[in-house]
A and B are shown apart, each in its own frame.
Chain A
Amino acid sequence: MKSSLPMQTSSLKNELEGEYLEKIRKDFPILQQSVHGKPLVYLDNSATTQKPKTVIEALKSFYEVYNANVHRGIHTLSEKATERFEHTRQQVHTFLNSTNEKEIVFTRGATEAINLVAQTYGRQVLQPGDEILLSAMEHHSNIVPWRLLAEEKKALIRVIPMDLQGELDLNAYEKLLSPRTRLVAITHVSNVLGTVNPIEQIIQLAHRQNIPVLVDGAQAVAHRLVNVQSLDCDFYVFSGHKMFGPTGVGVLYAKESILKNMPPYQGGGEMIVTVSFDHITYKSHPYRFEAGTPAIAEVIALSEAITYIQKIGFSSIQEHENRLLDYSTQALLKIPNLKIIGTAKEKEAVLSMTLGDIHPHDIGTILDEEGVAVRAGHHCAQPVMDFFDIPATARASFAFYNTQEEIDRLIKALWKVLEVLG
């Protein structure tokens, strides 16, 4: 089933409000339900986003109509599956504005994409005493793969510090870039603080010293336009499920000049040209990095997620989410003892909070009872929690389908927390 949303043009922008927003919300079946007898308010979009009908239908239709393996069958179903699968690669290439579709590798998610870079490129270039530069606000998925590699290679992890607003210290960053730095791996948008990092500047500074940069875009691609050529990043990774697509699929973009020289990641079918017991030749990129049968249905359905985002358009999304961020920030600050963790000037609609000495898990439980879904915990970013000296936060994170009324429900539920535990 195709969505009937009008295609956005530069002259016509659809404001995400009123009937139009209602119509969009109806495209997401999961949003229509009640939790504990109250209409669901889903504010855990940084963890995963909900899926429009077109994505769900694409998964279903693959299995009902043309389920087949890709790149090998000489039969109609396989040819169709292959064509749709490669169509998504083409679409991701356009979505990111990469140079060509061979720069797009499908992975299980952003995590696997980072691990892929660490285990191929990283392992190839890293020597004992070399350094990898991360930031203080990284998700565990952009720490642990580098830590594993650093231990193996006797290399060092260096960390770009941040301030109490949750903004990176770029002066310190410049000083940390050294002749031993082999890679900068940094998040585009913080999953806890919402900070949008100045990655253009970060990339430029690294490139002055010929240091490549990997950008973790897991929290960015659903919210802002990413143009890998104008950013000039060397690697960009993201997950499908955080941009209204299925779980189990992610993307690694890598500059072709780098990708073509990277050794294989996992071995298996699909990534080889010839195999004997004593000699193997590998396919060229991107197939060299896609061993085994991939998540075919999920890759195909990812195409629908991208189409959906493009139909709404990033300028509408940005405008709406900024409005939600402003509205919720103002409203939250009226709650006694509520503290927002992450107050950077450039922020996505992510609100991490603490409420006096009430533990975030208690907040999460009571909010859930009110039908409001937020994340409570360390958000896979324990170093960020340590930096702010807190065990956890409660986090509300927004997507384009959220409304001001839902923020009102969040605020009401937080007052209920105070009533029960305050």
Chain B
Amino acid sequence: MSDLRDLYQELILDHQKNPRNFGELPDANHHANGFNPLCGDKISLDFNTDENGLIHDIRFHGSGCAISKASASMMTMALKGKTIPEADALFQVFHHLVLGNLVTEEQIEHLGRLKVFQGIRDYPSRVKCASLPWHTFKAALNHNSKTITTDSDNDSVN
């Protein structure tokens, strides 16, 4: 039996109550909006890259459940200072983690604090809450100006 505390861990609750990098970034060179029609979660994500291609600053705002808010907050912390290929690799591993796909111990370790979301794979209806910020990040990366939604399956976003 899954334990509620695996889902709502202290770290997640902390980020939900005190989200980091919350707000807008006026000088962002990447921006996207995400929407989960199932629960109405909305996220707006801004980031900019420096001359070396590193993610220099990243912020989010919007409204959502504890999981999506914490996921967004922790994602921004994890992505700051990363190169785009590094960020993309992190996205892939995180995505597999929450879907409950096979990921190696090494990959999980690579996720650092983000591995706290591992418990979500036991809550299929909540996977999209955790993945919405990441899909929004991908859309911002690809300069996708349409609001992305989670209304298809867990693997893709249209």
Contacts and interface: CB of A to CB of B under 8 A. Distances in A.
Given A36-B1, A421-B13, A365 B7 contact: yes
Given A377-B39, A385-B40, A362 B66 contact: yes
B1 A376 contact: no
Interface in A373-422: 376-378, 385, 391-392, 420-421
Interface string B25-66: 000000000000011111000000000000000000001111
Contacts of B1: 36-37
**Which secondary structure dominates where chain B touches chain A?**
mixed
Nearest to B3: A369
Contacts of B65: 359-362
A198 B80 CA distance: 57
A196 interface: no
A237 interface: no
Contact of B40 (A358, A378, A420): A378
B7 A391 contact: no
Contacts of A366: 4, 8
Contact of B39 (A358, A391, A420): A391
A360 B16 CA distance: 14
Nearest to B123: A365
A391 B40 contact: yes
B148 interface: no
Given A365-B126, A420-B8, A360 B39 contact: yes
Interface residues of A, number: 18
A359 B39 CA distance: 9
B90 interface: no
Contacts of B41: 359, 361, 391
A80 to B, nearest CB: 42
A359 B8 contact: no
Interface in B84-108: none
A369 B4 contact: yes
Contacts of A391: 39-42, 63
Interface string A315-331: 00000000000000000
B39 A421 contact: no
Interface string A344-372: 00000000000000111110011001000
B67 interface: yes
Nearest to B8: A420
B61 to A, nearest CB: 14
B17 to A, nearest CB: 9
A358 B123 CA distance: 18
Interface string B1-12: 110100110000
B129 interface: yes
A97 to B, nearest CB: 39
Contacts of A362: 8, 65-67
A138 to B, nearest CB: 18
Given A36-B1, A362-B67, A392 B7 contact: no
A386 to B, nearest CB: 10
Contacts of A421: 8, 13, 16, 66
B36 to A, nearest CB: 9
Contacts of A36: 1-2
A376 to B, nearest CB: 7
A385 B129 CA distance: 19
Given A369-B2, A377-B38, A391-B39, 17 more contacts: A36-B1, A37-B1, A359-B39, A359-B41, A359-B65, A360-B39, A361-B41, A365-B123, A366-B8, A376-B39, A385-B40, A391-B41, A392-B40, A420-B4, A420-B8, A420-B13, A421-B8
